[in-house]
Amino acid sequence: MDWLYLHCNWNLCFSSGLNLSKPIFILTSDQDWAPTWAVSSFLETTGDIPVHIFRTNPCPLLDLAFKSGKITQGWHPNLLHNSSHGDTQEKVIKYMVKHFPNCNTARNHTYFTNTHFDRLLFKSGVRADSQIATYHQEDLFPLKDISGIVRFPVFFEDDVFFDHEAPNLLTEGLLKNLFSPGLKIFNLHATFIACNTPSAQHYQKFKSKIFASKTESHEFIYKGKGVKTVFLEIKNIIKDKGYKFQCFQTFVNNWIEENIKS
C-alpha cells in the first residue's frame, strides 16, 4: 500500500503545476540529413501538430519553418566516427552553435552520448534533452541528469517500432499504454514518414535512391501499412479521445521554470 500511495501522488508532486498524472502528447523529429523533398512531405503530414525538430544540418526549408514559427528546434549532434559535425566533441558543439544558435534542447544522433559530452552540452546552454528511448513505457517523467540537463524520455520511436513489429506493424502494445499517465513523446524521422517505411529492410533497399533523389518517387514510397499510416492512425485515436499534441519547447521551458532552480 505504501508503494501505491507514492505511485499515485508522485507525478503531481514532481511536476508542480504541470500535471503528469495524465498523458502528455508531444511530437519531436530527428532531421538526420533528410532530403528536402522528404522534409516537405513530413511537414505536410504533421502540419496541424506542433513539432520540435532536432537539427543535423542546414536546410533552407527547415530554416524558414523555424524563423516563421512553424517548428521549434534543438540540436542533433553526431558523435559517431567520421561525423560531419567534427572529429572531436568540442568541434561538434561548435558546429551546433554555429548553425543552430540559441538552442536549449538536444537529442544525440542514435542516442549516443557520454558524461563528458553531456557536460559540454550543459555548458553550451542546453538545459533539456530527449535522450532516453523506451518501448512504449508507461509513467514516463523528466529526469535530472548529473550533468544538470533534464531528460525527457521518448515513448515511441518510428524505426524502433518497425524493427520490433515488422512486417505486420501491430499496435496492440502501443495502444495498451497510450493513455497511461506521463510523457508520451513521439520521435519520427522525416525520411521514414515521407517513405511510409514499413521495415529496416525496405529502408536499406532504397536508402541510396532516397537520399540521391531530388523529388519523391513511387518506387520507394511504400503503399501499404508503414510508419506514416500507423502514426496517422494513432494521431486520430488521440484526437478522438479529446487530447492534443503539446509543443515540446513550451513544455520544456515551463517545466524547467517551475522545477529547476537557476
Using pLDDT thresholds of 50, 70 and 90, give the confidence band for residue 259: confident
Half-sphere exposure of 213 (CA within 13 A, CB side): 18
Residue pLDDT, tens place only, 131-182: 999 999 999 999 999 999 999 999 999 999 999 999 999 999 899 999 999 9
In this predicted structure, what is the pLDDT of residue 231?
97
Residue pLDDT, tens place only, 192-241: 999 999 999 999 999 999 999 999 998 999 999 999 999 999 999 999 99
Domains in the chain, please, with CATH?
Answer: 23-259 (3.20.20.370)
Residue pLDDT, tens place only, 34-79: 999 999 999 999 999 999 999 999 999 999 999 999 999 999 999 9
Which residues fall within 8 angstroms of residue 79, CB to CB, at 6 or more apart? 89, 92, 108, 109, 112, 113, 114, 117
